[in-house]
Structure 1
Amino acid sequence: MLRIGVISDTHGLLRPEAIDFLAGSDAIVHGGDIGNADILARLAALAPLTVVRGNNDKGGWAAGVPASATLEVGGVRLYALHDIADLDAAALPGDVEVIVYGHSHRPLVEQRGAVLYLNPGSAGPRRFSLPVTAAELLVDGGQVRANIALLIPRA
């Protein structure tokens, strides 16, 4: 079984709880609003890293971060972007099985037809009374399932 750690909306804060949760991942996907290059370096030290640029990722460090990315892990193809409102479903490759996104800070796992949509929520500074979360994708034999992990309870 392969484990993909999924994190988003760190906004410059990589909590120890997030590092602990992501440790041991076979790959990590960051859904944008990273905050700075240090976050990228620290995540890349844990596992192979795929990142997308969020609406708050600005400046020289973010120039090379793509708006979207695809990757394949264990025979499962993932597509990542920051804001789900920017998704052009018609332009997606037909073999995408998982869409990872962020932006709303609201964790969500939802199966829509053949595609699993995953928003890991926000692992950075707390927004409103939303929980601080991350997620994992577990890939086994070409099958995938997602779990949301509560890193810090609601305020």
Structure 2
Amino acid sequence: MRVGLISDTHGLLRPEALRFLSGCDHIVHGGDIGKPEILEHLAQIAPLTVVRGNNDREGWATAIPVSATLRFGELALYAIHDLKELDIDPVAAGVRVVVSGHSHKPACSERAGVLYINPGSAGRRRFSLPISCAELVIEGDVVKPRIVTLITAT
């Protein structure tokens, strides 16, 4: 199973991101969506799970949860926009992967058996950070993460 990860689009869904996410079995958007049309486009590619970011304040975004838990077979994934607001103990909750956004910095690390991944920003450039997305390839209980730079920093 291939799970596409995207975050911090801020109203801009780049063609490079759409190409990267094409063929995914599921997509997770880590918040700061910007416009509801972003979600409509992503939902045409694959089933979509979305969490609300700190900039998603308009009326259309009020129904979007601040966090979400997904199961892919035996694997549990928890999504939240700002990792600093993590409100669970992933190990105690049996969560194997935590997806976040907010910082615009792509990052991937493992602590206490939990994979923490931030796909970075796929929308408007912030500072000199790259434009990026990520994916998780899930085979049983094995997770292979990959962050992909769509447009390099300038």
Report the AA paired with residue 107 of structure 1.
P
What CA deviation, in whole Å up to 9, does each residue of 1:73-95 have, x standing for no partner?
24311000000110123377521
Q: Which position in structure 2 is the counterpart of 1:48?
A: 47
Report the AA paired with residue 47 of structure 1.
A
For 1:6-155, what aligned pairs fall within 5 Å after superposition? 6-90=5-89, 94-155=93-154
Question: What's the Cα RMSD here?
Answer: 1.2
Report the AA paired with residue 70 of structure 1.
T
Paired with 1:80 and 1:19, the residues of 2 have a C-alpha distance of 20
Superposed displacement of residue 3, structure 1: 0.3
C-alpha contact 1:74 1:139 (8 A) present in aligned 2: no
Normalised to the residue count of structure 2, the TM-score between the two structures is 0.96
C-alpha contact 2:90 2:96 (8 A) present in aligned 1: no
What CA deviation, in whole Å up to 9, does each residue of 1:78-118 have, x standing for no partner?
00000011012337752100000000000001001110000
Q: Which position in structure 2 is the counterpart of 1:4?
A: 3
Aligned residues: 154
Identity within the alignment, %: 58
Q: Runs of 5+ in structure 2 lacking a partner?
A: none
Report the AA paired with residue 117 of structure 1.
Y
Report the AA paired with residue 154 of structure 1.
A
C-alpha contact 2:6 2:30 (8 A) present in aligned 1: yes
Report the AA paired with residue 37 of structure 1.
P
Normalised to the residue count of structure 1, the TM-score between the two structures is 0.96
State the secondary structure of the residue aligned to 2:148: strand
State the secondary structure of the residue aligned to 1:102: coil
Report the AA paired with residue 41 of structure 1.
E
